Structure 1
Amino acid sequence: MAHLHLHLLSDSTGETLEMIAKAALAQFASVEVERHFWPMVRSQQHLDRIMGTITRYPGLVLYTLVNDTIRDNLEAACAEAGLPTVSALDAVTDPLARLLNQDKMHRPGRQHVLDDAYFDRVEAIQFTIAHDDGLLWEEWEDAEIVLAGVSRSSKTPTSIYLANRGYRVANMPIVVESPPPPALFNLRHPLIVGLTTSPDRLIQVRRNRLLSLNQSPQTDYVDKERVEREVRYARRLFADNGWAVIDVTRRSIEETAAAVINLYNERQARLVNDPDAVGGIKPI
């Protein structure tokens, strides 16, 4: 197995840099990566301290630095040490600068500025947390997206991920013995999406959950026949109401959220031309 020291330098929180590194590393198998994370690098003194570690553990240096002096000094020091450097955003910002005929603003962390979008995202997170697991169903009309699914079908983590993208989300557990509140069937504003999964995968997830809580896995919660009945009931409910359906069996939370966003955008585009077009979305 290959071993890599990956140095991530950012003049802000480093969130963007970490996502880029994660996406790139996903393309390679059998690699043991040791990350060295350096956020808020905004002075030469800070860079000098970091270079000691970088040269001690040589590897790839990935950075997002807008200060030209610090960038130049980092590249010069790495070149002297024979280490490769990559500016993670230049491949996008340089063509943009040429197309827009504008100079880059050289302002660190500008994507995290406290603008209206930031406060909208905070409001979305607060709404989503307050409307988790069927809570405050009488306010679901204020949601943009409502997720429904049986227990452990990734409703809550998908909701939180979507909230971090700025969507107000509520989620509702589907339980055979306890039908959803009637309000769910009369919603007009939110997109309702049913999350389904294979019974075998659901049993595995539930059993792992019980074990993590030091509880016995020998319960109806993981009984194969019961779980299959739950999944059939949920799928029939989704189909009878014409709700969009996403199978999360082999999807990560990010992939599920991306599919939900695509459905939401498609629906919004249809509503521009036809305000009554709220259904008609095929399962994914």
Structure 2
Amino acid sequence: MSETNLASESYFHLHLVSDSTGETLISVGRAAAAQYSSARPIEHIYPLVRNQKQLDRVLVDIEAQPGIVLYTLTDRELRDRLKTYCTRNSIPVLSVLAPVVRLFQAYLGGEPTPRVGGQHQLDGEYFRRIDAMNFTVTHDDGQHTEGLEGADVVLLGISRSSKTPTSIYLANRGIKTANIPLVPNVPVPPGLYELKHPLVVGLVASAQRVVEIRRNRLLGLNALQGDESYIDEDAVAQEVAHSRQLCARAGWPVIDVTRRSIEETAAAIIGLLQEHRRRISEEFSS
């Protein structure tokens, strides 16, 4: 970051107070903060705040470094105390779930039943995600290709095209994901073209971006001396072109991840998977 950018950039304190893991608050806070390019949040995250003593420590921090306070607290006494303190000290405070719960209540009727960490129950959905994670780890980087038919999604891509992190993200959404590296002069598993159930997706990026990531990776490993073609932009461009051609011949969709975050790539894949499943269902029922 340049000195000019540093000088023009401002910072603010963002306090995230939760009686559960705080994941909801983190996502909401970061999504909102991202709308302000000239202001960056200094996050203070307080998970598992479930009694007055724990809240005492939170209030001490807020007093020392006031800023925006977002919270998800089920206990009424804790909520009221936090809101009263912030209001008295002119500190902006908001329950991020309250407007949503009110909307649900207006539509569904009746009173909600407060549950701390209700979205983290050990139910069937939870164990489905665990199963997907186990599958994904087992089938990472071209391992156990004989079991690809059991995948929901198979990702293809050259080295450093975000296959593994995207696979893990999808697994956390309950999607069994395998990934296969595309290596120059190494054929893909022969059974890949015969897969019936999984959606096969190619991931590509610009040669410049891939080289940048590969070079940083090698620097971290102190291993820049080696196969020069691995970080040669022309050679990498040929790898990218080959992966595009391979997917085009097979009719597999391709996603360019050059300017996409892992979350955005995963969202695009989930959209393709829904369409893929709909098409298979229609073919089965016809």
- TM bin, normalised by shorter chain, reads over 0.9
RMSD across aligned positions (CA)? 1.5
Partner of 2:250: 241
In the TM superposition, 1:171-210 aligns within 5 A as: 171-210=179-218
- What SS class does the counterpart of residue 97 from structure 1 fall into? helix
In the TM superposition, 1:70-149 aligns within 5 A as: 70-149=78-157
- 1:225: how far off? 2.4
**Paired residue type of 1:130:** T
Partner of 1:25: 33
- What SS class does the counterpart of residue 284 from structure 2 fall into? coil
1:3 to 7, 11, 18: 11
How many residues were matched structurally?
277
2:283 to 266, 271, 274: 274
Does residue 14 of structure 1 match 2:14?
no
The CA distance in 1 between the partners of 2:74 and 2:235, in whole Å, is 57
Q: CA, structure 1 residues 56+224, in 2 after alignment: closer, same or farther (shift >3 Å)? A: closer
Select between 100-109 and 213-222 the one with higher mean Cα deviation: 213-222
- What SS class does the counterpart of residue 180 from structure 2 fall into? strand
- What SS class does the counterpart of residue 221 from structure 1 fall into? helix
Identity, % of aligned positions: 48
Partner of 2:231: 222
Could you tell me whether the CA contact under 8 Å between 1:5 and 1:34 is conserved in 2? yes
* TM-score relative to the length of structure 1: 0.94
- What SS class does the counterpart of residue 52 from structure 1 fall into? helix
The CA distance in 2 between the partners of 1:217 and 1:29, in whole Å, is 39
**Paired residue type of 2:79:** R
- 1:271: how far off? 2.0
- 1:33: how far off? 2.0
* TM-score relative to the length of structure 2: 0.93
- 1:202: how far off? 1.3
Partner of 1:281: none
Could you tell me whether the CA contact under 8 Å between 1:163 and 1:169 is conserved in 2? yes
2:271 to 255, 262, 266: 262
- What SS class does the counterpart of residue 233 from structure 1 fall into? helix
Partner of 1:282: none
The CA distance in 1 between the partners of 2:161 and 2:56, in whole Å, is 48
Give CA-to-partner distance per residue, 1:25-44, whole Å, 9 cap, x none: 11111223221111111112
Partner of 2:166: 158
- 1:276: how far off? 9.5
The CA distance in 2 between the partners of 1:134 and 1:150, in whole Å, is 12
1:38 to 43, 46, 56: 46
Could you tell me whether the CA contact under 8 Å between 1:207 and 1:217 is conserved in 2? no
- 1:126: how far off? 0.8
The CA distance in 2 between the partners of 1:3 and 1:202, in whole Å, is 32
Partner of 2:4: none
Could you tell me whether the CA contact under 8 Å between 2:161 and 2:203 is conserved in 1? yes
Partner of 1:232: 241
**Paired residue type of 1:209:** R
Could you tell me whether the CA contact under 8 Å between 1:11 and 1:109 is conserved in 2? yes
Give CA-to-partner distance per residue, 1:160-194, whole Å, 9 cap, x none: 01001110000000112110110111110100001
Could you tell me whether the CA contact under 8 Å between 2:17 and 2:72 is conserved in 1? yes
- 1:52: how far off? 1.4
Could you tell me whether the CA contact under 8 Å between 1:211 and 1:217 is conserved in 2? no
- What SS class does the counterpart of residue 147 from structure 2 fall into? helix
Unmatched tracts of structure 1, length 5 or more: 278-284
Unmatched tracts of structure 2, length 5 or more: 1-8
Select between 205-214 and 122-131 the one with higher mean Cα deviation: 205-214
The CA distance in 2 between the partners of 1:195 and 1:52, in whole Å, is 47
